[in-house]
A and B are shown apart, each in its own frame.
Chain A
Amino acid sequence: MKEEKLMVDGKRIDGRLPEQLRDIKMKLNVVTRANGSAEVKFGKTTAIASVHGPRALFPRYLQESGTGILRIRYNMAPFSVNDRKSPGPDRRSTEISKVIRLALGPTIFLEDFPKITIDGFAEIIEADGSTRVTAINALSLALAAAGIPMEDLVASCSVGKIDGTLVVDLNGKEDNNSEADMAFAMLPNKGVISLLQMDGALTKKEVLKLLQSAKESCMKIYEMQIKVLKDFYKGE
């Protein structure tokens, strides 16, 4: 299967060191018609997220009397990958939408919004690995930009094992040829995990080590999220 080596002289195919994140860009309020929005890029991987709400929820039977609900849609644009992805939801995006909802849910004071919905949409415009974690970072910023009361931000990154080396922030090629990859999200202030998915084959020790590097990377991403939020509101 593998045509080329993913690690050469301790460096990755894009020149990064194992623990190095790609160039990360974050921008707020890119969708003016939404209550809050953000664009996040991890290298070429680009996610645009928007948040609508709190808003009325219809049909009425979906309403919950004691709490508000969070709805999330993760979607890949057909042109975001080399072989066109046929549009519309599939099994993968259904599952990812669910785990993203569970990753963000704990931060939002949903009980303050009975019968109400908060809707988050994440569109992957270009995909080069680690799309779900990029979407989570964008949605977290979009929620904050929409002024939704939150306990914490959510920072997210991928980690994995390529050519026997543990690395952070896998790009598309690394993702496709990895021995294992893990999607991870945490609430940085609370210090708890809200997304954890892994597939591959790892020893227990490797799993614990990857969790540690994921935590460290998420703290870096969190700093960037804070900075972009502060800069944006300073400018207003």
Chain B
Amino acid sequence: MEELYALELIHKGKRIDGRKFDEFRAIEISTNIISTAEGSAKVKFGETEVIAGVKIGTGKPFPDTPDRGILIVNTEFTPMASPEFEAGPPSENAVELSRIVDRGIRESDAIELDKLCLVEGENVFSTFVDIHIINHHGNLQDAASLASIAALRNARLPKLENDKIVRGEYDKPLPVAFTPINITVSKVGDNFILDPNYDEEKILDSKLSISVRDDDKICALQKQGVNEIKFEDIERMLDTAIEKSKELRKLV
């Protein structure tokens, strides 16, 4: 029922928690919170809470990129985070979330993967970003993206001895060149809102996930939600994301 109230309010120009349409909930970022991980971050958007951990290992590169390190993003919708999440293999939504985070980081060339090559075709650093959803109160996509880039920004490359990793000892920071920020712009009726909470998410008509790099370039787009988007809405959605990304990037 909360969502119907949220909808009614949006039509009146208000939000259920009193925010402006383009206002995020209070954002908290804490980094370097897990000593066993090479990099880590916890992000809170109000009640929504996401932890991202970076583990770095070594392994064989992919055959089509023999001179580049590996990046893998994975997400767990833990059953504790929401009554609608179930234990088991990643759901369609978890896979989509991971892949949108992945594209934002990969396509922006945020990580300098060419610097992660040890022996071409044989041995490279592989970077795993694991996203753990702790509490789902809406806008997991933006929270997960922010946690991931924050974790990568404080990740360190492990020390190597004879190409073997020495756990607990570090060499230098992971080379990260950009801070891509994912902003999902949602449409409800004729209104555009940012950072919908759990109740607002149920009443969205459509949404567009937009990943913006430091130089305002758009690095990934994904239309989500069951309804269509109008052509004339896209420019406004892009402008909103570009503007807001600057604000969030300052927090990382």
Interface residues of A (CB under 8 A from B): 1, 83, 91-92, 94-95, 97-99, 102, 105-106, 180, 182, 187, 190-204, 207-208, 211, 215
Contacts and interface: CB of A to CB of B under 8 A. Distances in A.
Contact of A95 (B99, B223, B227, B234): B99
User: From DSSP, what is the main secondary structure of chain A's interface residues?
Assistant: mixed
B95 A91 contact: yes
Contacts of B98: 91
16 contacts: A95-B92, A99-B222, A102-B224, A190-B228, A196-B229, A197-B221, A197-B222, A198-B221, A199-B220, A201-B218, A202-B218, A204-B218, A204-B238, A207-B234, A207-B238, A208-B238
Given A95-B95, A95-B96, A208-B235, A201 B226 contact: no
Contacts of A99: 96, 222-223
Given A83-B63, A95-B95, A199-B220, A208 B234 contact: yes
B242 interface: yes
Contacts of A92: 99
Given A182-B221, A197-B223, A204-B242, A192 B92 contact: no
B107 A200 contact: yes
Given A94-B95, A102-B226, A196 B216 contact: no
A5 B220 CA distance: 24
Interface residues of B, number: 36
Contacts of B220: 198-199
Contacts of B179: none
B213 A201 contact: yes
Contacts of B213: 201
